[in-house]
Amino acid sequence: MLPRRRLGQTDMELTTLSFGASSIGQEFRSVDLGESLQAVRVALDSGMNFIDTAAFYGRGMSEMMLGRVLPDIPRDQYYLGTKLGRYTGEHFDFSARRVTESIDTSLERMKVDHLDIVLCHDLEFVEMSQIVEETIPAIRREIEKGKVRYVGVSGYPMKMFKYVMERADIDCLLTYNHYTLQNDMALDLVPLAKEKGVGLMNGAPFSARLLTNAELPPWHKATPEVRKVAAAAAKHCADRGSDIAKIALQFSIANENFATCIPGSANPKRVAQWAEWAQEPMDETLVAEVQEILKPIHNWFYIEGRPENNDEPVAS
């Protein structure tokens, strides 16, 4: 059984491993539709109780795919979260009017009557004051209508999470690529999140394949040095008879400051493997060895969205 942790001050007890549905929207590669649907079922059958998606993933495809599966599953057996505000690579709309439209569209696509979590998606691309002054209050009004239960934000830089937590009433946030074997900058959020009662969720424990044996996607922003060091760490794991992806997942799950860890895949076998890894003991000696190898690129990150919304760069 996957352990559960409470998400902030909500009434939600999330399993430590959740299902990220970006991949079933073909966000990263062409997928087999049957396998994608099966991946969702395997995730739920493996005990995961939270599904994370977004209107942006597959430009609606991820939500539509979930709408093929979820009607057959009792609604009280899973929690469901989606995101709004980003709709294509360059199209962002965080207006109050679009909040209402987006939530109604997501409900219709997924064939559910409510959403447990709605997150403002990749707000580092826009003027963040709008999120605080217009978007979050608009989502709160949808909560009053019973369409949504909790509100939060998601994105890449740590700076914008601190900005929102200091100025708005949110229930949770989803950070990605910032609590991994290579980057633990999200730990800086923990004190403020506890003070404000904000639940933390951690996405992308593999840092978009950087901490796996798979080839990096063409859009990955890792520098040659980052790629070289990560490859050395992966080789060390292989030489020790292990898989860097396994310890990366286990490492991210182990920190109890994060209610859940959210990887994503449209491959049902991989999803089942993650569930197995999540319940096996972590090789702490190997983790320490890998972190030592990764030291030259510790907390390397890239710029995403508006420069003024980003953290101060570090040398890579």
The full set of domains in the chain, from first to last, is: 4-309 (3.20.20.100)
Prediction pTM value: 0.96
Label residue 208 left, alpha or beta by phi (over 0 means left) and psi (-120 to 50 means alpha): left
Q: Side chain identity at 231, as an amino acid letter?
A: A
Taking only the tens place, the pLDDT of each residue in 86-144 is 999 899 999 999 999 999 999 999 999 999 999 999 999 999 999 999 999 999 999 99
Strands 4-6 and 199-203, how do they pair?
unpaired
Backbone angles phi, psi at 125, to 5 degrees: -85, -5
Residues belonging to the active site: 57
- Angle of helix 284-293 versus helix 224-239 axis, rounded to 10: 150
pLDDT over 80 (residue 304): yes
- Which residue stretches of the chain are H helix? 33-45, 61-69, 96-110, 128-130, 136-144, 158-167, 190-196, 224-239, 244-254, 268-278, 284-293
Coil/strand/helix, residue 302: coil
CA–centroid distance for 133 within its chain = 24
Region class of 312: left (phi > 0), else alpha (psi between -120 and 50), else beta:
beta
Helix (H) or strand (E) holding 194: helix 190-196
pLDDT at 18: 98
Q: For the segment 150-179, what is each residue's pLDDT rounded down to a tens digit?
A: 999 999 999 999 999 999 999 999 999 999
The neighbouring-strand residues paired with 51 are 19, 80
